[in-house]
Structure 1
Amino acid sequence: MHFIFFIFLFFIISLELQAEDVSNESITLPEIEIQSSIGDRTRLTPGSTNYVDRQSIDKSRYLTVGEILQEVPGVVSEIDDGDSRKSNFGIRGAHSRRSRKISVYEDYIPNNFAPYTDPTTHYTPPDERIAGIEVIKGSGQLTHGPQTMYGIINFLNYRPPTQSSGKIITSLGSTQIGPRKQFHVRYGRQFSVFGNWQAMFTRHDNRGPVHGDITEYNDFFINGDIDINENQKLALTFNYNEEDSEYAEGGLGLSQYNANKQMGNLRLGDDIFKMDMARIGLAHSYYASDTLKVDTNFYYNFFYRTRWSQTDNDESAGLVFRKGIGCTNEGLRIDAANITNAGCGYKVSPRRYHTAGIETRFYKQTKWFDKNNDLKYGAKLEFEKLKRKQWVTTLEGNKKDQAGDQFVENEFAKMNEEAEVYALATYFENDIQYSDKLTLTPGIRYESYFLIHNDRENRDGCGATSVVCNDYTSYEKDEYILLPGLGFTYLAPQSNQLYGGIHMGMAPPAVGDAGYREISNLKSQKSFNFELGIRNQTFENNLGVTFEAAAFRTVERNRPVKSSLRTAGTGSTLKNIGTTFTDGIEFSSNWDQSKYSKKLNNWFGTFSYSFIYPKLKTHQKGERSSSDPGSPMIIDDIYENDIPFIPRHKAVLTIGYGKKNKWNVSGTARYNGEYFTDIDNSKGIGVSGRFGQVDDYILFNSRLNYQWGQATFYISGTNLLNTPYIASVSAEGLKTGNGRTLVSGMEYNF
């Protein structure tokens, strides 16, 4: 790590030494749609879209990227690590756990570790280098994939400036648990014929909502834009991120949560999470003529993550439960008196991912049947290779973080699986200018992939011994599917824009959803998506108000849900539930007094609201039984129960006052509605904290920004009333959300 840091520091210093003139920072996005958008390109995409620009991000000063996304109607973000690092994003009824059911990109390079086989995300880019965030929820998502049922999120990085400039961002804060420290520096300039280049370094060292939750990582990022000639452009990205955090995947049992909501990981350093990420992106844009442009994007991602933990599941005792080879106090809860960590073994879960792809897109303007047509068509080839393992160990010398190959075959292995995917996707979309007011956008996507899944569990069927059984299985699957769509945009009188669409979506079965050796039991999810919306700017000039509203329905087949929440593990046993209906409405509005007022100081505000009505439309007996702890409700038929993990209501209101380009102060109220976490719709939280109804809550935040020359100073407060709430519930227990957090920071342009 230190070697990489010094190379990176040398790169930044060398840029500075060669700089001749200093100017203010600028954001220049190259005309390479496949690599990054040209400002807000969502307005050119059919259907419902949202764009969060950097000005809005800076004004809101939210604590994490997840809270930024909470402002977008229809988007849910569960923050269970204090920094949104383990991204849990959902759109329009998608289960948010690790963002497995949506496509997440960074400059249109996949952030999902293995999009076709294990689309989990334990990585979110640092908020300091995000220039904007795109969210696409309508039929326009068919040009991306493979997850096309709910929507996509694309983080846009700052592009290199055309003139010498840079920025330093630093912030210090404090929670009830401990300090938060963040630092970011970037510098870029033009290098003659070698184009524009930029280097960024970011470090986060943040305490989370509970004891023993520390997110710590370093991020190194370099990108460049090169004009090869007047017809060709090249954009390059190099990114390395290393994380060494104290993070317990397992949460609390109900009794522990009630006793001390900040109890967290009482192993205090024994549960750790490590990850290395390396990424290369190369995007080439060729302007063949005035009416034809070809973009080609190559990307390669490498993720290696491993988790060391003593955590195990026990229904009656809660989740902080000691189990492992050579554990002195095996079977006892870690929060019991006189319990130490001496002599305890560990459960280790290393995973390794390789994802490589190449995609070519064509943009063609033509005229058919006397109508203007804007064609977008292309193809993508992708290869994925992953390896997932779990093993337990005595760890010589009681050292949890053993060196060496974590994937080696040994007598302690409990799980060992590998998967490869060869995927091909093609798509076609056409914006037909049917009239001056009406644009029709038909489209179709073809998805095909071939999956090879192999596993070996050394101790499978061998009882508690360490005898190697070499029980080997192999599974192969291929799938081909056509996904049609149709969108429209109509420019109505008085600055109204009507839009709508229908499309089919899909999501391949994920290894992480299926659990060990269960991938062959899951089918791909399919959906029929409908939406109708309106954008209005009628009152922008005289009242400073704009708004957007949309209604949608998603009819889903084969949604995976847990077949038994009594089974240990985050994704241990799932099955396809049948048919589900998700209906909803979304509303967002912006108010800016400066649009019509000549005053120096003006008011501003934003409001967003989402309502979702998620229903199971299949007949099945519930999963609760009389043997469950407490007084479980036994359900004979789950038909018309709520789909788990989907809050019905979500609202965010912000009101502020300030002087443009000088200062502003604002406050935010954020409401998250209640939801169920099992298909039985159990009301009470279970003893183990793994199922039950999560109550609604409301949080209050505030911030102050002040600009002084090239510097901006800010202070912010999150959860000012220190409201306790449950942030997430999984098969490994419940997790509490961030308590009161105060942060101060400074940005300096040079």
Structure 2
Amino acid sequence: MARARGVAVALAIALAAGRARADEEVSVTGVRFAETGGSAHVVKDAQLRRFAYDDPHQVLLSVPGVYVRPEDGVGLRPNIGIRGANSDRSKKVTLMEDGVLLGPAPYSAPAAYYFPLIDRMRTVRVVKGPSSIVFGPQTVGGAIDLVTREIPDGSKGTYDFAFGQYGFNKQHLSYGASDEHVGFFIEGMRLDSFGFKDLPTGADTGFTRNEWMVKASYNPMPRAEVQNDFLLKLGYSDEASNETYLGLTDDELRATPDRRYLASKNDRMENHRTAVSLRHTMRFSPALDVTTTIYRHDFSRAWNKVNGFRGADITDVLANPGSARNRIYRGVLTGELDWGDDTQTILIGPNRRDFVSQGLQSQIRLSARTGPIMHRVTYGVRAHYDEIVRRHTQDGYRMIGGELVREARATELTADNKGMTHALALWAVDAMTLGPVTLTPGVRVEAIHAAYRDALAGARDGATYQTVIPGASAYWAMHRDVGLLAGVHRGFSPVPPEQAGSAPPESSVNYEGGVRYARKHTRAELIGFYNDYANLTDICTFSNGCTVANLDRQFSGGDARIAGLELYGESEPRLGGGWTLPMRAAYTYTYTEFSSSFSSADPQFGNVRAGDELPYVPSHQASGSIGVERRVFGVAISGTFVDAMWERAGRGDPSAPGAPPRTDAYFLLDASAKYRVVDWLELYVNGRNLTDQRYIASRRPYGARPGAPLWLMAGVRGAF
């Protein structure tokens, strides 16, 4: 029987911090990973390269227990949820890059309007269950860590150029070198497309994204008994996308899914982000090391877009287009009718926001033995500050002769406020192994001071509060390859600064248990989970249809229950002659239920009856892929099924009178092929949504939004 040596995979991730050996510690087929007492998944580099997805949704749908809500069809601003947690703007998930929080303001405004280019990553790690208490602040669902490429040993460069339909093109270059003292790595990526949606003017509806990263390392004495490694990381990104919140009526999407209304012709998001971090790792011995990171991110965005009508609700106009009144408003949106009165004035504004996120985090890892018990202990601390400054303005426009004509009124200031949070987090976890059993108790403590200033209302607010987040997991190695796992932890989500003194945080008790098999190139697991919410919450955003008055306010859904089953399997058998057969399958069943009846101004809740299901959580979700590969050649196919999801809390027959709508269930079939011409040149092709299935992916915030159509692309890549 193999020794159960594994510490919770979350610890390995948290301590990885770019070390070359850390990726092996959390390898899907590695012994340490196989014997951890927590639920976690690693999407490896080979899988990322196989299909070369640039949409994070497509990558994360391969992980059981992870749900997404498509919005723009290309994943510019992902909506990710884990185990039933609200997926809107990924605000209930702790998002990290190389173990450092990446969200614009993870405490003050957790909506993730920035997400790195997924095709730039080396691996993607998803942590669920009790392992998530190591990260935070969000522990209700889990954590996602995007791991960037490392400084190479010696020297190495890579390139990846691709082009495809809808003006798609990608340029990705990197080069790095190192010796025993110093090293560097430079990476740049550009991704753009003119878009698959059609404006009557024929204008571009696509996007351009640029990302740069520079790493520099220094080890002053590589042969010293105590090792000191320094790593400086710099990052820059920008985006210009002609994207909108304005959708279509259901009937229009069925007939012409790629149509865009004329009113949205000037909608455009522009943002940029800078990031810097400095990490120091001191290794006293293989049993003791300390890693400290100081970081800062600055993010600014301005999204000029249709905010609504002066005298009508666009959501109602597009949901009920048949009424005489709504036909007129819809005609104004399409440009088929001219402006008639002040209620038909279209309100358009940039909604400018500026964010700061900075902090210092340090972790100590210690391995020691007390009698027959082996301990692997992690102590951690993070001092963090973030802020959001909102300055929202809007102007009125009249649709006249197919043109948007600005009215004479002065620009309206709709929001002028600032939210700030200081947070101190402490955590400790001890993985204790005795024979075939590993017990991993842990605790996280968050001390939070939040403040809010509203210049328009002349109001100030603030509060200080603390919370304790305990958790524990266990693993029993029943056999060399098979083990049982179980865990329990408290779920927590902080309160927005404007309500820190008046609203309780989200709170739940989350359970999981299951069985895992791992041997060589094969892994399989079956895990059940149950999340018992004492206070399920949502933070209102424009992306889910909230009004200006409710923006970033927390709404409570009371008691709720979420239960589910996750199945996962992967294998890569050798066929002889250098051929392999990589295959993977994942399935998630989820049951959700509100425990009480209530009415809410949050459009995702609405009028809730006890027993209603939560919005945007599919009952069934499945994905799988299979391929055949050799060093010089490979082909693979992938399929993904996502069940229909409620747009608001609901149950029963969606066609019943008064029932909320549901998204369409959909199945996506993708394929890829590659051929290596020489060592430094590989050709590849990818096809996405090969059946060209068109479906309603969402109706948030204003009308039906389509998934992306059939999309073909080809490229060349290699290393030198």
TM bucket (normalised to shorter chain) is 0.7 to 0.9
Gaps of 5+ in 2: 1-11, 27-31, 200-204, 322-327, 340-344
Amino acid at match of 2:188: F
Preserved contact between residue 181 and residue 204 of structure 1 (Cα < 8 Å): yes
2:663 aligned partner: 694
- 1:81 offset after TM fit, Å? 2.5
Work out the CA distance in 2 between the residues paired with 1:98 and 1:582.
20
Work out the CA distance in 2 between the residues paired with 1:289 and 1:217.
43
Task: Provide the TM-score with structure 2 as the length reference.
Answer: 0.85
Preserved contact between residue 451 and residue 478 of structure 1 (Cα < 8 Å): yes
1:557 aligned partner: 534
Q: SS at the partner of 1:39?
A: helix
Q: 1:583 aligns with which of 563, 585, 594?
A: 563
Q: 2:173 aligns with which of 185, 188, 196?
A: 185
Q: Deviations over 1:259-311 (max 9, x none)?
A: 42111353464000010100001111112345321110111010101110134
Q: SS at the partner of 1:300?
A: strand
Preserved contact between residue 54 and residue 118 of structure 2 (Cα < 8 Å): no
Preserved contact between residue 503 and residue 529 of structure 1 (Cα < 8 Å): yes
Preserved contact between residue 448 and residue 466 of structure 2 (Cα < 8 Å): yes
Work out the CA distance in 1 between the residues paired with 2:74 and 2:506.
30
Q: How does 1:454-533 map to 2 (within 5 A)?
A: 454-457=453-456, 471-510=457-496, 522-533=503-514
1:222 aligned partner: 214
2:583 aligned partner: 605
- 1:320 offset after TM fit, Å? 13
1:282 aligned partner: 278
Q: Deviations over 1:369-410 (max 9, x none)?
A: 542211101211001121012111379xx999x9xxxxxxx9
2:430 aligned with 1:446: no
2:23 aligned with 1:39: yes
Work out the CA distance in 2 between the residues paired with 1:528 and 1:577.
16
Q: 1:127 aligns with which of 113, 118, 134?
A: 118
Count how many residue pairs are aligned between Structure 1 and Structure 2. Answer: 666
Q: 2:262 aligns with which of 266, 279, 291?
A: 266
1:71 aligned partner: 62
1:617 aligned partner: 595
Q: Deviations over 1:453-491 (max 9, x none)?
A: 11133xxxxxxxxxxxxx311111222111111111222
2:605 aligned with 1:641: no
Amino acid at match of 2:112: T
Q: SS at the partner of 1:179?
A: coil
1:298 aligned partner: 294
Amino acid at match of 1:384: D
2:676 aligned partner: 707
- 1:683 offset after TM fit, Å? 5.4
Q: 2:626 aligns with which of 624, 647, 655?
A: 655
Q: SS at the partner of 2:16?
A: coil
Preserved contact between residue 179 and residue 206 of structure 1 (Cα < 8 Å): yes
Work out the CA distance in 2 between the residues paired with 1:731 and 1:518.
24
2:48 aligned partner: 57
2:430 aligned partner: 430
* Mean CA deviation greater in 207-216 or 492-501: 207-216
Distance change >3 Å, CA 521–CA 32, structure 1 → 2: closer
Amino acid at match of 1:549: L
Amino acid at match of 1:618: S
Work out the CA distance in 2 between the residues paired with 1:279 and 1:142.
25
Q: 1:738 aligns with which of 698, 705, 708?
A: 708
1:334 aligned partner: 333
Amino acid at match of 1:217: R
Work out the CA distance in 2 between the residues paired with 1:320 and 1:268.
20
Q: SS at the partner of 2:477?
A: strand
Preserved contact between residue 697 and residue 706 of structure 2 (Cα < 8 Å): yes
Distance change >3 Å, CA 269–CA 181, structure 1 → 2: farther
Distance change >3 Å, CA 563–CA 69, structure 1 → 2: closer
Distance change >3 Å, CA 411–CA 603, structure 1 → 2: closer
Distance change >3 Å, CA 432–CA 615, structure 1 → 2: same
Preserved contact between residue 691 and residue 731 of structure 1 (Cα < 8 Å): no
Amino acid at match of 1:585: L
Q: Deviations over 1:5-36 (max 9, x none)?
A: xxxxxxxxxxxxxxxxxxxxxxxx99962456
Work out the CA distance in 2 between the residues paired with 1:693 and 1:31.
38
Amino acid at match of 1:610: T
Preserved contact between residue 239 and residue 272 of structure 2 (Cα < 8 Å): yes
1:234 aligned partner: 230
1:15 aligned partner: none
Q: SS at the partner of 1:317?
A: helix
Work out the CA distance in 1 between the residues paired with 2:69 and 2:54.
13
Q: SS at the partner of 1:577?
A: strand
Amino acid at match of 2:647: T
**CA RMSD for the aligned pairs?**
3.4
Preserved contact between residue 608 and residue 651 of structure 1 (Cα < 8 Å): yes
- 1:416 offset after TM fit, Å? 1.2
1:244 aligned partner: 240
2:145 aligned with 1:154: yes
Preserved contact between residue 685 and residue 694 of structure 1 (Cα < 8 Å): no
- 1:557 offset after TM fit, Å? 2.3
Q: 2:516 aligns with which of 535, 557, 564?
A: 535
Q: Deviations over 1:144-163 (max 9, x none)?
A: 11001111000000011121
Q: Deviations over 1:163-191 (max 9, x none)?
A: 121011011011xxx22111111111126
Distance change >3 Å, CA 371–CA 576, structure 1 → 2: same
2:184 aligned partner: 197
Distance change >3 Å, CA 348–CA 566, structure 1 → 2: closer
Q: SS at the partner of 1:502?
A: strand
Work out the CA distance in 2 between the residues paired with 1:368 and 1:32.
23
Work out the CA distance in 1 between the residues paired with 2:429 and 2:559.
29
Instruction: Name the % identity.
Output: 20
Q: Deviations over 1:110-152 (max 9, x none)?
A: 1221111111112222233211011110211111110011110
Preserved contact between residue 367 and residue 377 of structure 2 (Cα < 8 Å): yes
2:85 aligned partner: 94
- 1:41 offset after TM fit, Å? 4.0
Work out the CA distance in 2 between the residues paired with 1:344 and 1:676.
29
Q: Deviations over 1:294-334 (max 9, x none)?
A: 1101110101011101341424422999xxxxxxx999622
- 1:573 offset after TM fit, Å? 6.8
* Mean CA deviation greater in 214-223 or 37-46: 37-46
Preserved contact between residue 83 and residue 215 of structure 1 (Cα < 8 Å): no
Work out the CA distance in 2 between the residues paired with 1:390 and 1:49.
40
- 1:740 offset after TM fit, Å? 0.5
Amino acid at match of 2:481: S
- 1:68 offset after TM fit, Å? 1.1
Q: SS at the partner of 1:161?
A: coil
Q: SS at the partner of 1:142?
A: helix
Preserved contact between residue 622 and residue 638 of structure 1 (Cα < 8 Å): no
- 1:561 offset after TM fit, Å? 4.8
Q: Deviations over 1:533-553 (max 9, x none)?
A: 222135x5xxx6431111111
Distance change >3 Å, CA 108–CA 604, structure 1 → 2: closer
Amino acid at match of 1:451: A
Q: SS at the partner of 2:528?
A: strand
Preserved contact between residue 320 and residue 333 of structure 1 (Cα < 8 Å): no
Amino acid at match of 2:464: D
Distance change >3 Å, CA 252–CA 201, structure 1 → 2: same
Work out the CA distance in 1 between the residues paired with 2:657 and 2:264.
23
Task: Provide the TM-score with structure 1 as the length reference.
Answer: 0.82
Give the strand-richer structure, 1 or 2: 2
Work out the CA distance in 2 between the residues paired with 1:417 and 1:320.
35
- 1:623 offset after TM fit, Å? 8.5
Work out the CA distance in 2 between the residues paired with 1:613 and 1:674.
13
